[in-house]
Structure 1
């Protein structure tokens, strides 16, 4: 073997049930309490996980507005199969819109007539995929009430919806070849149509900009649900950014936002901002092809709040989502300071972190954002609570730089992980589970207890939506959990593992 040397791995397993300090450091633990030999030898604090009886944050217990308390799974909500039947068989107006009859869509020159399975994909979109995308009931979701009627008249948009539905249905049915083929055809039509329209687009003046951004955002969802790990989502988001900036500028100069084009623009901009936020799960710039600029309008979404569709993706917690990019930038600064040889974070960084921590902890949801069914208030609060917990983890790891060395910080992070898992259980089978993926990925990157890792994986893989990218997320986290390096922990560790394995997961 010449001058090459093998670095032999120790012949003992690394800690699976030891103290939190050894788990975070990914070191062997002899499990002696109250202080294991490794912590005594290194003269560091030895911390052990504790049972959390009520890990929910304090604000969950604030008085809710006067309403009748009901369970999150409201038995009175519309049955999706009934909605599908009425939409596609009877041409009714269950969602408050006039629907065309199926035969009007099933001609060979229309998107829904492209293949014998196309109407099946449309039915699945109405019944399963569309309702899974929003933090609203199907009868109140713009993915059905706004996007679907437009798609009946716009074949480019319809191709994108059918591709999205197809990739969802194909995975649920075990990669059915017929569905995969139909999906590929619709996806190809959507991409070729986009290229054609972009080639003839005049910057800042085209009335096609709102629908093109909407189509791009649907295609982003397709890439994510297809378990794309090559970064296609980020290419589409980069293309969408120019449209988003142009639309934002146009909307500023048009105070009357009641036109259909402006409503489409407002909804497409919200989806763009949401996808930009939730795909920040690492320090900013850690992976170049996942890095997108944070423009002013996404750092403060108040300009979109007057649209009737606003809140579809954020469910009353957009101020919390706005903190994600700021923490991502702080994490990047922390690692840069560490790389420059700085032993402790700068006072400027600590001040920013303190401000962000206060904003996370003090945030509460305005009662005016509780609309719809009485049980929506509880669901929105729980979803926002999970987001708060994820933000606390993101911020704690951002301050720590490349490695969490302080056992006390690891214990705090573990408490937030416990809370996220508890909330996830409470929101099972609720439409308010749509925004749980980001905090779950952030929390998952800091899971060091094997039983939690196993339970988390089972819960995600058995999610009611059965989407392929959920398996990809679990596979990526497993790569992180299996890595012995102490730096393979938290969002920074996630970026290292993704870059090493070229496994760039995308989140919706």
Structure 2
């Protein structure tokens, strides 16, 4: 056995040569612009960029800060970065490469470059082929994303991982590319427009989205809501994609109801959230057929069944949000019911008590803001007005019981004040709700408003003037406006001057344009119709009659 020889001098690998020589593992004579090796083998001679004051500045993966910032700003440049990154070969490929090296080549001197170098030529040809394949893949990817709507360009924004769903999500088999676009639209736009921004945590993201990814029904409803929102923002009521997803959502909901009735699904949570999502989908699209009230009726029964279950069956935060969701939607929808013809109440005593439990915690929500206490007075005022209107012979002066109830409600409204901890815009919105509640109360005993002496006209107009002042202080683009249709409708139904009507008209048009919620546009349509009516036919208690005349059946949620 021959004695083992030890290397006396270390191997020095040149790291300053051209890329072709480095790739072929040949010594480069570093003659610029074309080194001797590339000249002999007729190869393209490329040199690394030198960054002063930095070691190994020519390495392909080393980028300056300016380069990184420039590449981050362009999706196509980021793709180029990914394509050009040098990925190490697998151990198996390394072994194959070393096993194919011949003894002669292994013993060849680093300087033994010759004009005949088939191995080097083959490596360069393979490299060129790989580069061509990378370019083809890049062009294919860019062409596949070129149809994305400008409003949904965030789909290919690499930096916004939190609000973007990849187009090829393997965890959602069976969903087409439009669905991914719509989910991204929901995450980035629709969810923000649904919540009023009262709290830093948006429940339409934190509560609804995790549930949606566990249920095909809820996920389809989220997609349908997003599609309806996007269609209205584009002013395209015939949007085929929105109609298709809406139809599919209705079919899935009906199927879920059937399974629940048959006892195949004992937990009503998914159906309940689904019914509430459908209410807001109608709100988003600006539906005028009254479909929202069917969904609300279904949600009422499902919520009662859910609350009958153990509190441990549903997380507390989710249950609180669901209660707020329903109470808010049901309360503001009562004004759309004709109290003269129907005694229907969407909010029964048990649900009202559940909501009052939230008041003990000074609950502030993304739908009811800080005025949950005021919302819970809407059914009480509705019942007071209904009893007055249902009397066969209305006297000029209400009964003692009517006056006592009226005074008690008025005192509670006047005593109410927004929580001091809320943001200024939320505080201002609370004051607007307070004035709208006073108007709703003052007009509940209709015989008073239109008596000859007009003893309540002064109170109503004072509340209207104060409410309009607060509205002028609140920007139309503030997120809190997403839940302001009800007070605006109440206040707007009592406006008597053209100047006030123009101010509110401009505001609602700006809100509808900014948020893209159809209900804001329908509210304006309804008020436009009421502003042409005699004074005796206006006011919040005549909103339902105007709806019937103009065939605009909407909720103000």
- The TM-score with structure 2 as length reference comes to 0.66
CA distance in 2, matches of 1:424, 1:346: 35
Q: Residue 364 of structure 1: which of 411, 417, 434 is its match?
A: 417
Q: Residue 549 of structure 2: which of 500, 504, 507 is its match?
A: 500
Does residue 1:348 correspond to 2:409, yes or no?
no
Superposed CA offset, 1:60-119 (max 9, x none): xxxxxxxxxxxxxxxxxxxxx9x995998568458xxxx864422686513xx2xx4332
Q: Residue 229 of structure 2: which of 168, 182, 185 is its match?
A: 168
Does the CA contact (< 8 Å) of 1:136 and 1:431 recur in 2? yes
Does residue 1:125 correspond to 2:172, yes or no?
no
State how 1:128-139 maps to structure 2 within 5 Å: 128-136=189-197
Give 1:474 shift.
Answer: 1.3
Does the CA contact (< 8 Å) of 2:182 and 2:223 recur in 1? yes
Q: Report the equivalent of 2:465.
A: 418
Q: Report the equivalent of 2:350.
A: 297
**What is the count of residue pairs matched by the alignment?**
403
Q: Report the equivalent of 2:104.
A: none
Superposed CA offset, 1:5-50 (max 9, x none): xxxxxxxxxxxxxxxxxxxxxxxxxxxxxxxxxxxxxxxxxxxxxx
CA distance in 1, matches of 2:436, 2:156: 38
Does residue 1:488 correspond to 2:537, yes or no?
yes
Distance 1:491 1:119, change over 3 A: same
Q: Report the equivalent of 1:48.
A: none
Q: Report the equivalent of 1:389.
A: 435
Structure 1, gaps ≥5 residues long: 1-80, 371-375
Does the CA contact (< 8 Å) of 2:218 and 2:274 recur in 1? yes
Q: Residue 467 of structure 1: which of 498, 513, 517 is its match?
A: 517
Distance 1:137 1:385, change over 3 A: closer
CA distance in 1, matches of 2:448, 2:337: 10
Q: Which has the higher contact order (CA 8 A, sep 6+)?
A: 1
CA distance in 2, matches of 1:315, 1:84: 32
CA distance in 2, matches of 1:101, 1:324: 44
Give 1:468 shift.
Answer: 2.1
Does the CA contact (< 8 Å) of 1:106 and 1:119 recur in 2? no
What SS does the corresponding residue of 1:153 show, helix, strand or coil?
coil
Q: Report the equivalent of 1:237.
A: 296
Judge which range, 100-109 or 125-134, deviates more: 100-109
Superposed CA offset, 1:279-305 (max 9, x none): 1225763464x9444311343313356
CA distance in 1, matches of 2:255, 2:429: 40
Distance 1:86 1:500, change over 3 A: closer
Q: CA RMSD in A?
A: 3.2
CA distance in 1, matches of 2:247, 2:465: 43
CA distance in 2, matches of 1:105, 1:454: 52
CA distance in 2, matches of 1:402, 1:197: 49
Does the CA contact (< 8 Å) of 2:331 and 2:347 recur in 1? no
Distance 1:329 1:167, change over 3 A: same
CA distance in 2, matches of 1:356, 1:216: 32
Judge which range, 345-354 or 456-465, deviates more: 456-465
Distance 1:403 1:206, change over 3 A: farther
Does residue 1:452 correspond to 2:513, yes or no?
no
Structure label with greater radius of gyration: 2
Give 1:205 shift.
Answer: 9.6
Does residue 1:311 correspond to 2:365, yes or no?
yes
Does the CA contact (< 8 Å) of 1:227 and 1:472 recur in 2? yes
Distance 1:310 1:86, change over 3 A: farther
Does the CA contact (< 8 Å) of 2:155 and 2:181 recur in 1? no
Judge which range, 305-314 or 378-387, deviates more: 305-314
Does the CA contact (< 8 Å) of 1:84 and 1:123 recur in 2? no
CA distance in 2, matches of 1:392, 1:284: 19
Q: Residue 197 of structure 1: which of 256, 260, 269 is its match?
A: 256
State how 1:41-120 maps to structure 2 within 5 Å: 85=154, 92=161, 101-104=166-169, 109-110=174-175, 113=176, 116-120=177-181
Structure 2, gaps ≥5 residues long: 1-149
Give 1:493 shift.
Answer: 2.2
CA distance in 2, matches of 1:307, 1:144: 23
Distance 1:174 1:307, change over 3 A: same
Give 1:204 shift.
Answer: 9.3
CA distance in 2, matches of 1:126, 1:263: 20
CA distance in 1, matches of 2:330, 2:201: 24
Distance 1:341 1:91, change over 3 A: closer
Does the CA contact (< 8 Å) of 1:445 and 1:491 recur in 2? yes
Superposed CA offset, 1:225-262 (max 9, x none): 22222210001111111101111222xx43x47x54x5
Give 1:152 shift.
Answer: 2.9
What SS does the corresponding residue of 1:121 show, helix, strand or coil?
helix
Q: Report the equivalent of 2:210.
A: 149
Superposed CA offset, 1:155-212 (max 9, x none): 21121112112222112113175xx211112111111111111111159994531121
Superposed CA offset, 1:335-360 (max 9, x none): 123x4242211110010000000000
Does the CA contact (< 8 Å) of 2:199 and 2:364 recur in 1? no
Q: Report the equivalent of 1:280.
A: 334
Does the CA contact (< 8 Å) of 2:199 and 2:366 recur in 1? no
Q: Report the equivalent of 1:440.
A: 488
Judge which range, 290-299 or 467-476, deviates more: 290-299
Q: Report the equivalent of 2:425.
A: 379
Judge which range, 464-473 or 443-452, deviates more: 464-473
CA distance in 1, matches of 2:157, 2:344: 41
- The TM-score with structure 1 as length reference comes to 0.72
Distance 1:448 1:347, change over 3 A: same
